[in-house]
Structure 1
Amino acid sequence: MSHPTQRRVWFITGTSTGFGRALTEIVLAKGEAVVATARTPSVLANLVSQYPSDRLLTLKLDITQPTEVADAFEKAREAFGRIDVVVNNAGCGHAGEFESMDDEMGRAILETNFWGTVSVTRQALKFFREVNPKGHGGRLLQNSSMLGVVGKPAFSFYVASKFALEGLTESFAQELDPAWNIKVTLIEAGWFQTSMKEGAKWAPQHPAYQNADLPVSRVRASWDAFVCPGDARKGAEAIYKIAALPDPPLHFPLGEDALAEMQTKFDEFGKVLKEYRSWSEGLLTDEDVGATKDA
């Protein structure tokens, strides 16, 4: 991995708005290079006019199309020869009661947030190992969410996509050969002022969930007035910093709300483990008990 003070090459998906856009601007301002991808790269025209081609390459990319993902990495190789940091930022979020969301809406979320991210991840790992100089490695930042750790009403399919990403990443991170020098971090952000809230599509309310006191009904009723507390620029600055750590954490909660929500879940989980621990004791098979005694 190149030293943080050297000019790194970043590959960032979903750079039209939110974290992706803010992080692209920060990286460029720091003197580094960016391959900025978006479904509509023309929205990056003002950045293209500010930075030369050896600092910024914009590419049209729909991460749900594996061939487009492969082509984007090849174009990055042709332009810069290496990639130091890949940021899996592109995603989408729709909302509604679980029973109100049809398969088409649910699958669309999984296709982008999970399978699209899978395509980028595969290309990133291969690039770090086989295209970058041997041992150079790279950093892979997976834009998960606090909703990849804590479930919330109205966001069941979005939560499912992020839970899946968390499990996938935790697993393959343990498979990587340390000699490859690939560092992986899950960014578990809370509510930040990105385009997700404005871009979220709501399914029509399911008739069985008319009770205004239900948590999901309260989310519906308050959604338009809800103001995301996190500053996307400040969040992106933290993401930039995490990519420079020599030994970054696998999990990186981001935002005070993320910290609070995750702490509450872990505390509740701890209570359950303590209360019901005895229920799991003495459940070994006779063969396992005998082997334990022999040892």
Structure 2
Amino acid sequence: MSNPRVWLVTGASSGFGRLMSELVLSKGDIAVATARKPETLDDLKIKYSPSKLLVLKLDVTHAQEIKDVFTKIKETFGRLDVVFNNAGYSTLGEVEATPEDVARGLFDTNFWGATNVSLEAVTFFREENKPAGGRLIINSSEMGVHSVAACGFYSATKHALEGISSALAQELNPEWNIKVTLVEPGTFRTEVLVKLGDGYSHPAYTKPTLLSNIIRAITHDKNLKQGDASKGVEKIYTLSLLPEPPFRLPLGKDALEMVREEANSILEDVSKYESWSEGLDFDALEGVTCRVRKMPKS
């Protein structure tokens, strides 16, 4: 490529992060691949020169490490074109069964870690790349739209991430040319399900027909149909090239089904109980709500 783009990929040791790092390099772009254990990327360091691949240690729960990564990118390449904000993990367990420290750990990584990466990305795109801007691609989940039993706290982290990312995208000045997209993947063939294990259980939830136990059984099904993660990552790479990318990208047929189901359920309740909002003196706010929704997208 005559003008290779510089990518930052978080959570690059496995899954979508590893695959994206490999794809970016194969396309002739420059990859800054980060992981809590950077030695997991030693094989890529052997294959690619430092001018093409920069491997850095990053635990997104440490805000200073995030800042240090962006500083190193500026010193090394002088610019950053795409951030694939991907680091995260999940766990199994009913909401009542999941220990609080485990739940807080999920939020530290999936919400606070990802949010801090997004904030540093926006600052870099605005201050260092002006007027070029940049692409911020945040790896969310279908569960960021539709919560799933036995994955309650993981779903909650992704719901929170979607909420803060939506507000952030609305706040950006269009003149900064920063494009934000939430990718909402379905079930793809990665190490995620293998790492889940048995998770946490509660003695009150042992009935096999409870949805949480059905979900738990599905995650252990070796014949479970899953999407091709390599093809999924290729779609995300294509997304990064779109002049006007969508704010949300449900990815995979199961993700499309879950998002549609959630949207239809919300609309059904809105229509069924619309009359309850009549006469509550909110007329003065209607115009404000419409204006917010019609604001220019980032």
TM above 0.5: yes
Per-residue CA deviations over 1:35-80 (Å, capped at 9, x if unaligned) read 0001111111121111111111000110100111111111111111
Distance in 1 between the 2:2 and 2:86 partners?
A: 24
Residue equivalent to 2:157: 161
Alignment pair present for 1:199 and 2:195 = yes
Distance in 1 between the 2:62 and 2:2 partners?
A: 34
Q: Is the CA contact (8 Å cut-off) linking 1:136 and 1:180 kept in structure 2?
A: yes
Distance in 1 between the 2:215 and 2:12 partners?
A: 28
Cα distance 1:288–1:123, how it changes in 2: closer, same or farther (>3 A)? closer
Cα distance 1:288–1:144, how it changes in 2: closer, same or farther (>3 A)? closer
Alignment pair present for 1:65 and 2:62 = yes
Structure 1: runs of 5+ lacking an equivalent: 290-295
Residue equivalent to 1:223: 219
Cα distance 1:126–1:201, how it changes in 2: closer, same or farther (>3 A)? farther
Alignment pair present for 1:102 and 2:78 = no
Q: Is the CA contact (8 Å cut-off) linking 2:61 and 2:113 kept in structure 1?
A: yes
- SS of residue in 2 equivalent to 1:22: helix
Distance in 2 between the 1:47 and 1:231 partners?
A: 22
In the TM superposition, 1:170-185 aligns within 5 A as 170-185=166-181
Which stretch shifts more, 166-175 or 215-224? Answer: 215-224
Q: Is the CA contact (8 Å cut-off) linking 2:13 and 2:37 kept in structure 1?
A: yes
Structure 2: runs of 5+ lacking an equivalent: 286-298
Q: Is the CA contact (8 Å cut-off) linking 1:92 and 1:200 kept in structure 2?
A: no
Residue equivalent to 1:149: 145
Distance in 1 between the 2:21 and 2:219 partners?
A: 29
Q: Which amino acid aligns with 1:264?
A: E
1:258 aligns with one of 250, 255, 258: 255
- SS of residue in 1 equivalent to 2:135: strand
1:209 aligns with one of 205, 208, 227: 205
Q: Is the CA contact (8 Å cut-off) linking 2:92 and 2:200 kept in structure 1?
A: no
TM-fit CA distance, 1:288: 5.4
Alignment pair present for 1:49 and 2:58 = no
Cα distance 1:154–1:20, how it changes in 2: closer, same or farther (>3 A)? same
Q: Which amino acid aligns with 2:273?
A: Y
Q: Which has the larger radius of gyration?
A: 1
TM-fit CA distance, 1:88: 0.6
Q: Which amino acid aligns with 2:100?
A: D
Count how many residue pairs are aligned between Structure 1 and Structure 2.
284
The normalised TM-score by structure 1 is 0.92
Q: Which amino acid aligns with 2:259?
A: M
TM-fit CA distance, 1:82: 0.4
The normalised TM-score by structure 2 is 0.92
Alignment pair present for 1:27 and 2:24 = yes
TM-fit CA distance, 1:235: 0.5
TM-fit CA distance, 1:261: 1.1
Q: Is the CA contact (8 Å cut-off) linking 1:235 and 1:254 kept in structure 2?
A: yes
Cα distance 1:100–1:69, how it changes in 2: closer, same or farther (>3 A)? same
Q: Is the CA contact (8 Å cut-off) linking 2:10 and 2:86 kept in structure 1?
A: yes
TM-fit CA distance, 1:212: 1.2
Q: Which amino acid aligns with 1:242?
A: L
Distance in 2 between the 1:29 and 1:186 partners?
A: 24
Question: What is the root-mean-square deviation in Å for CA atoms of aligned residues?
Answer: 1.7
Q: Is the CA contact (8 Å cut-off) linking 2:193 and 2:220 kept in structure 1?
A: no
Q: Is the CA contact (8 Å cut-off) linking 2:137 and 2:180 kept in structure 1?
A: yes
Distance in 1 between the 2:225 and 2:168 partners?
A: 32
Distance in 2 between the 1:221 and 1:49 partners?
A: 40
Alignment pair present for 1:14 and 2:11 = yes
Per-residue CA deviations over 1:180-220 (Å, capped at 9, x if unaligned) read 11000000100111222122254432011111111012122
Residue equivalent to 1:38: 35
Q: Is the CA contact (8 Å cut-off) linking 2:9 and 2:83 kept in structure 1?
A: yes
Which stretch shifts more, 191-200 or 83-92? Answer: 191-200
